[in-house]
Structure 1
Amino acid sequence: MVSIQHHGAVQGVTGSCHQMTLASGEALLVDCGMFQGAESSGRELGEKQIDFPLDNIEALVVTHCHIDHVGRIPFLLAAGFDGPIYATEATARLLPLVIEDAIKVGVSRDERLIRKVLQRLQQLIKPIPYDQWFVVDGLPKTRGRFRVAGHIMGSAYVEFDAQGERVLFSGDLGAPYSPLLPAPKSPYKADIVVIESTYGDKLHEGRRTRRKLLKSIIERCLKDKGTVLIPAFSIGRTQELLYEIEEIIHRSAAKSKSVNKGAKGTDKSQSLWKSIDVIVDSPLASKFTAHYRDLRHLWDAEARKKLAAGRHPLSFEQLITIESHQDHMKLVAHLKASGRPSIVIAASGMCAGGRMLNYLKALLPDSRTEVLFVGYQAQGTPGRDIQTYGPRGGYVFLDNQRIDIRAGIYTINGYSAHADQANLINFIKRIYRKPKEIRIVHGDDDAKAELATKLRAIVPEAKVWIPYE
């Protein structure tokens, strides 16, 4: 029998880190993520980030490279871990970029230290193709397999065959019909499932509905002659948004061509979309977008069809990228002074740092501005505060400054890269040989509780429970 311990993502939605231990004592970790928002309270950077023994940890398996799943890896290495780090081929390619950025933002800009960490990371990473069983070094008769999760590029859920049991860790599952990536498919069997529950109590809007909502919100702001600010994670969300915005622009252009010149009733939105600047202000997001283009063989059939037709969903004419900090500050000042209609996509996704903070400080007090949230905002983050208090005409503290919120605040849950309640239920329902145990992690209390109730009805023979409940 294997045993499972949790070193994060059991009292919230960040810090994913799970330990699977064999009866013989050897163990591995699945993910080693950073705590964020209120969940980071009392966790100083340093040794306290790894508050569990590593004596028997033989390997690390990474489901995907979002910071809440990989952000503690530098601390893990500093604590002495020197085992293999297994990841999909795409994740292995993207992971060093994420770790480098995490160190620069949250730890140190010492180039020598960063180079040392990245060199060690590269030595330990073992890229594994999807759907291929691999033997886990140091764990007797234990093998693993990555399966497509559809969350971000390279994301996977992972299955283990260990001591006669099939153990599955979901990582973060993606929503079906998301842009760019194929949807996850349930495995044939599982004995134990550790499943995320970020949206375990919510249902997303359909893709057509959310694209229509995205279009209408942006058009409203353009008519107000203001800026649409979209806080977005550099990897995953940014690329999905670009894909959807390119689709809106393409459809608008096609509609414009079908209207006779000078005909009455020509849609004014067509000219708006033709002239709008779409700005990605994040060097990291720009690097990830380039990798997404290089990894087009992992795109879904719809996206590949667009490429075949000569379209460029992640590199279209109106897309502008901002690299230097100097250009970033100039643009913030220009938008504040001019109110020029534009779409700005920048990190961080929860407004807890990065270049988005400067836009928010400058433009939140401007009623011409719209802020559009397209991803989960964890408790204790500025994003959650803006989302909660902005519609009431409230305020938020950014860099210890009180910023009054006069901007319009909107949320589109459908653009979350996470599966919703129905998707999570279907993932379990479609496992042919049902699990005997389901552990629910990575969610707020209400989300975990509601998902547990639903799953108990679907798999009454299984033990469905919430660790540390």
Structure 2
Amino acid sequence: MNITHHGAVNGVTGSCHQLDYTSTESVLIDCGIFQGEDAGPDLAIDFDISTVTALIVTHCHIDHVGRIPYLFAAGFSGPIFTSKASASLLPLVIEDALKVGVTRDQKIIDACLSLLEKRIVAVEFNQWFELPGSNELPPLTKARFQRAGHILGSAYVEVDVGVKPNLQRVVFSGDLGAPYTPLLPSPKAPYKADVLVIESTYGDKNHQGRKERTSTLKKVIEKAVADSGVVLVPAFSIGRTQELLYELEQIIHNARKNPSWQSINVIVDSPMAANFTSKYREFKSLWDDEAKKRLANGRHPLDFRQLHTVDSHKEHLAVIEYLSKRDEAAIVIAASGMCTGGRIVNYLSRFLSDKTTDIIFVGYQGRGTLGRDIQTYGPRGGYVHINDSKVTIRAKIHTISGYSAHADQKGLVKFVTGMRKKPALIKIVHGDEQAKQALAQKYKAILGNATSVEIAK
């Protein structure tokens, strides 16, 4: 058995790991694009896939699935195993990725989507499935998905390789959700792992508690209401947007006697986010108990009165023009989450230099992204370049880490300490160097010499 990492080793993007389970067969876990400083000009698959029999998708964020079309182009023809909710989301994500980064030719897009839908195999959580036929008998490999609590449909995957008494269980964490996030249950640790490949996005940090982050969000928005400013929230279309809507509905509900809160506009300017929000509603059986209780009480946490969705590009430009001339507060949630493209960039270009504007970062900002630059230089009164123009940052910049969809250091530690049988080897991926080092030190201190801890290369 051997594990090779084709991405997410020098940063937090491009997740792609190859598990060789026989001498002639292997499986890929995720196949994502690189973003920010990790990005390169060529997305073509640059590793040998001749032994790859299947792809396992942990969840549908672009840095975990965005290179799937290039995998097809390289000749991959095996099944794509994923959870049922992810199977529903994946075509939407790939279609958007093709339109934004590859081609507007609808025939090419349709051909790729047709190929994708033929390959997808939707699997229930906690259900074992065999990986495609082995040339070495008996069949050596099976896998199953467990809920990761990161976004709708997200999973960590357990892979059993070999037969007793030499059976090895390899766990790939994908991206693990933070505890107490809205809508989705927190991930539960697996019973055991012999080898664990785990993300480390927040391996050196702990998030704010839910009460604290909700209070911070409320205060920022109340300030915006007071000066009729615009609140801009760069957010990933899947996961973060829906969690924010859930929290905003709760704040508005609690302030139902306050006319300022009842009149505020919450604008989701992203057709993708709107599509994913409808999927969240479709798969409400996967919601946590708190969210289900709100539904039972007749509330609609993802479809409330103050919520407005912007669809076409023409509407998008009209909203920017309207907000430029308005004298009332508005909250705008738009992709992309790291400000690397999408409609949020047009809002930032227009409103970043306005002192009544507030920017709220609720997720990780990768190195080399516009989001990271604003986060870094904004508090210093600096500037950024947007579309080749210098934009001075007069807006107030806020970071609310508690809304991250990623587990913090405590959560990443709990995922391991919660196992009945601890791993003999932990390989740390998907994090900046400081985060990986901090998490490695934490694991070594807690687990001692019984577990070997490596930072994947």
The TM-score normalised by the length of structure 1 is 0.95
> Is 1:465 equivalent to 2:451 in the alignment?
no
Q: Which residue of 1 aligns with 2:440?
A: 452
CA distance in 1, matches of 2:292, 2:155: 21
1:271 Cα shift? 2.0
Q: Which residue of 2 aligns with 1:182?
A: 185
- The residue identity in structure 2 corresponding to 1:242 is L
Q: Which residue of 2 aligns with 1:128?
A: 123
Q: Which residue of 1 aligns with 2:41?
A: 44
> Residues 266-277 of structure 1: matches in 2 within 5 Å?
270-277=258-265
> Is 1:173 equivalent to 2:176 in the alignment?
yes
Q: Structure 1 residues 345 and 54, CA, compared in 2 at 3 Å: closer, same or farther?
A: same
Q: Which residue of 2 aligns with 1:147?
A: 146
In the alignment of these two chains, the number of paired residues is 448
Q: Which residue of 1 aligns with 2:427?
A: 439
Cα offsets for 1:249-275 (capped at 9, x unmatched)? 11111xx3xxxxxxxxxxxxx222111
Percent same amino acid at aligned positions?
Answer: 57
Q: Which residue of 1 aligns with 2:356?
A: 368
CA distance in 1, matches of 2:57, 2:447: 28
CA distance in 2, matches of 1:169, 1:192: 9
Q: Unaligned stretches of 5+ in structure 2?
A: none
> Residues 214-225 of structure 1: matches in 2 within 5 Å?
214-225=217-228
- The residue identity in structure 1 corresponding to 2:305 is E
Q: Is the 8 A contact 1:339 1:368 kept in 2?
A: no
1:151 Cα shift? 0.2
Q: Which residue of 2 aligns with 1:117?
A: 112
The TM-score normalised by the length of structure 2 is 0.97
Q: Which residue of 2 aligns with 1:26?
A: 25
Q: Which residue of 2 aligns with 1:74?
A: 69
1:339 Cα shift? 4.9
1:23 Cα shift? 3.8
In structure 1, the residue corresponding to 2:222 is in which secondary structure?
A: helix
Deviates more, 1:337-346 or 1:234-243: 337-346
> Is 1:415 equivalent to 2:412 in the alignment?
no
In structure 1, the residue corresponding to 2:3 is in which secondary structure?
A: strand
Deviates more, 1:136-145 or 1:2-11: 136-145
CA distance in 2, matches of 1:12, 1:454: 19
CA distance in 2, matches of 1:452, 1:380: 25
Which of residues 237, 259, 282 is equivalent to 1:294? Answer: 282
Which of residues 38, 52, 58 is equivalent to 2:53? Answer: 58
- The residue identity in structure 2 corresponding to 1:301 is D
Q: Is the 8 A contact 1:32 1:70 kept in 2?
A: yes
CA distance in 2, matches of 1:13, 1:339: 40
CA distance in 2, matches of 1:230, 1:339: 19
In structure 1, the residue corresponding to 2:69 is in which secondary structure?
A: helix
Q: Which residue of 2 aligns with 1:322?
A: 310
1:333 Cα shift? 1.3
Q: Which residue of 2 aligns with 1:356?
A: 344
Q: Which residue of 2 aligns with 1:101?
A: 96
Q: Which residue of 1 aligns with 2:133?
A: 138
Q: Which residue of 1 aligns with 2:293?
A: 305
In structure 2, the residue corresponding to 1:25 is in which secondary structure?
A: coil
CA distance in 2, matches of 1:143, 1:352: 37
1:46 Cα shift? 4.7
1:56 Cα shift? 0.3
Q: Is the 8 A contact 1:45 1:107 kept in 2?
A: no
Q: Is the 8 A contact 1:59 1:138 kept in 2?
A: no
In structure 1, the residue corresponding to 2:398 is in which secondary structure?
A: strand
C-alpha RMSD of the superposition: 0.8
1:25 Cα shift? 2.4
Q: Is the 8 A contact 2:234 2:339 kept in 1?
A: yes
CA distance in 1, matches of 2:320, 2:248: 22
Q: Is the 8 A contact 1:26 1:138 kept in 2?
A: no
CA distance in 2, matches of 1:364, 1:377: 17
1:24 Cα shift? 2.4
